[in-house]
Chain A
Amino acid sequence: MEPSELERVARQIRLRDLQAVYEAGAGHIGGEMSVIDLLTALYFRVLRVWPDQPRHPDRDRFVLSKGHTACALYVTLAKRGFIPEEEISTFLKPHSRLNGHPNCNKVPGVETNTGPLGHGLPVAVGMAKAAKLSGAKYHTYVVTGDGEMQEGSNWEAIMAAYQFRLDNLTLIIDHNRFQQGASLSDTNDLAPLRPKLEAFGWEVSEINGNDMHAIVPALEHRSDRPHCIVAHTNKGHGISFMQDRVDWHHKVPSKEQYEIALAELSEAL
Chain B
Amino acid sequence: MNAPVNPPKLYDCRDAFAATLERLAAENETIVAVCNDSVGSSKLGGFKSKFPDRLVNVGIAEQNMVGVGAGLANGGRLPYVCGASPFLTGRSLEQIKADISYSNANVKLVGISSGMAYGELGPTHHSIEDFAWTRVLPNLPVIAPCDRIETAAAVEWAASYNGPCFLRLSRVGVPDLLPEGHKFEVGKANLLREGSDVTLIANGTLTHRIVKAAEILAGRGIKARVLNMATVRPIDEAAIIAAANETGAIVTAEEHSIFGGLGSAVAEVVVDNTPVPMKRLGVPGVYAPTGSAEFLLDEFGMAPAAIADAAQALIKRK
Chain A contacts to B: CB under 8 angstroms: 57, 61, 103-105, 111-116, 118-119, 121-131, 133-134, 136, 140, 152-153, 156-157, 159-160, 163-164
For the complex, give the distance between the alpha carbons of A189 and B2 in Å: 75
Give the bracket for the number of chain B residues in contact with chain A: 20 to 34
Q: Inside 8 A of B53's CB, which chain A residues have their CB?
A: 133
Q: Type the 1/0 row for B253-276, where 1 means its CB is closer than 8 Å to any CB of A.
A: 000000000000000000000000
Give me 8 A-to-B residue pairs in the complex whose CB atoms sit less than 8 angstroms apart, sorted by A's number.
A104-B103, A111-B74, A113-B103, A121-B67, A122-B65, A125-B68, A126-B68, A134-B75
Interface-lining segment among B20-28, B93-101, B171-179, B198-206: B93-101
Distance of B81 from chain A, by nearest CB (Å): 10
Contact of A57 with B76 at beta-carbon distance under 8 Å, contacts A116-B98, A153-B95 already known? yes
Q: B99: which of A123, A130, A163 is its contact (CB, 8 Å)?
A: A123
Count: A-B pairs, CB below 8 Å: 116
Give the shortest distance, in Å, between A167 (CB) and chain B (any CB).
Answer: 15
Closest A-B pairs by Cβ, 6 of them: A126-B71, A130-B75, A122-B67, A156-B64, A156-B61, A126-B68
Shortest CB–CB separation between residue B108 and chain A, in angstroms?
14
Q: How far is the CA of A125 from the CA of B75 in the complex (A)?
A: 11
Q: Which of A105, A111, A133, A159 has the most CB of B within 10 A?
A: A133
Contact of B67 among A115, A123, A130, A140 (CB under 8 A): A123
Asked if B239 is an interface residue, CB under 8 A from chain A, the answer is: no
CB of A152, distance to nearest CB on chain B (Å): 7
Please tell me if the beta carbons of A129 and B68 are within 8 angstroms of each other in the complex: yes
Distance of A113 from chain B, by nearest CB (Å)? 4
Task: A123-B99, A126-B79 are known; give 18 further A-B pairs, CB within 8 A.
Answer: A103-B102, A112-B71, A112-B99, A113-B99, A114-B98, A119-B94, A122-B67, A122-B68, A122-B70, A123-B74, A125-B67, A127-B71, A130-B71, A134-B30, A134-B77, A156-B59, A159-B64, A160-B59
